[in-house]
């Protein structure tokens, strides 16, 4: 059983949190919901899901996670201004374990300085940000670059979740 961290903040894309989370849990893995403050309840941007923060980012040891999966929506833009979350993403990347982001999720990868020279995909509006940060952007449902897994949008969720599970 793997421990999978999912950092979320207010306005996450509902399905980009719930679909992978359910897929990971149905496969027998533990999902750790990470955010600014333990106990906070954050709502998805469509109002269809609420995530309860199980642990504050400042209290997470990246070595205790087997994967880190970043949902999109408005959440990554909010979380990229939280130093503890950005530091967690940066430190987790150093483990070499699966690091995945969908839709706007790569905004956190940019903030953590992890995209230069890497091949990624994202929601189209994040493309220029990724290119300006040194990434090679491609328009595919799932892109794997070593331990980094990215996808574009909710339509890619099945392939995205499968790719993460395969990397575990």
Q: What is the DSSP string of 101-154?
A: EETTTHHHHHHTT--TT-EE---GGGHHHHHHTT-EE---SEEEETTEEEE-SG
103 classed as catalytic: yes
> Catalytic residue among 103, 112, 130, 163, which?
103
Of 164, 6, 138, the residue nearest 85 (C-alpha) = 6
Coil vs helix vs strand at 23: helix
Other residues' Cβ atoms within 10 Å of the Cβ of residue 62: 17
β pairing state of 3-7 and 67-70: parallel
The CA-atom distances, in angstroms, between 79 and each of 14, 18, 139, 148 are: 16, 18, 25, 19
CA–CA dist 43, 135 (Å, integer): 31
Report the catalytic residues: 103
């Amino acid at each position: 059983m793997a421990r999978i961290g999912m950092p979320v903040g207010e306005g996450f894309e509902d399905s980009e949190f719930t679909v992978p989370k359910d897929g990971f849990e149905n496969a027998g893995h533990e999902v750790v919901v990470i955010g600014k403050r333990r106990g906070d309840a954050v709502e998805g941007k469509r109002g269809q899901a609420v995530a309860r923060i199980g642990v504050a980012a400042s209290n997470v040891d990246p070595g205790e996670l087997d994967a880190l999966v970043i949902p999109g929506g408005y959440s990554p833009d909010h979380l990229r201004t939280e130093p503890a979350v950005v530091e967690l993403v940066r430190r987790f990347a150093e483990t070499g374990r699966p690091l995945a982001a969908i839709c706007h999720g790569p905004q956190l990868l940019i903030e953590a300085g992890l995209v230069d020279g890497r091949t990624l995909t994202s929601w189209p509006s994040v493309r220029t940000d990724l290119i300006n940060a040194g990434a090679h952007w491609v328009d595919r449902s799932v892109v794997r670059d070593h331990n980094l897994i990215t996808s574009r949008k909710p339509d890619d969720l099945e392939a995205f979740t499968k790719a993460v599970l395969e990397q575990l």
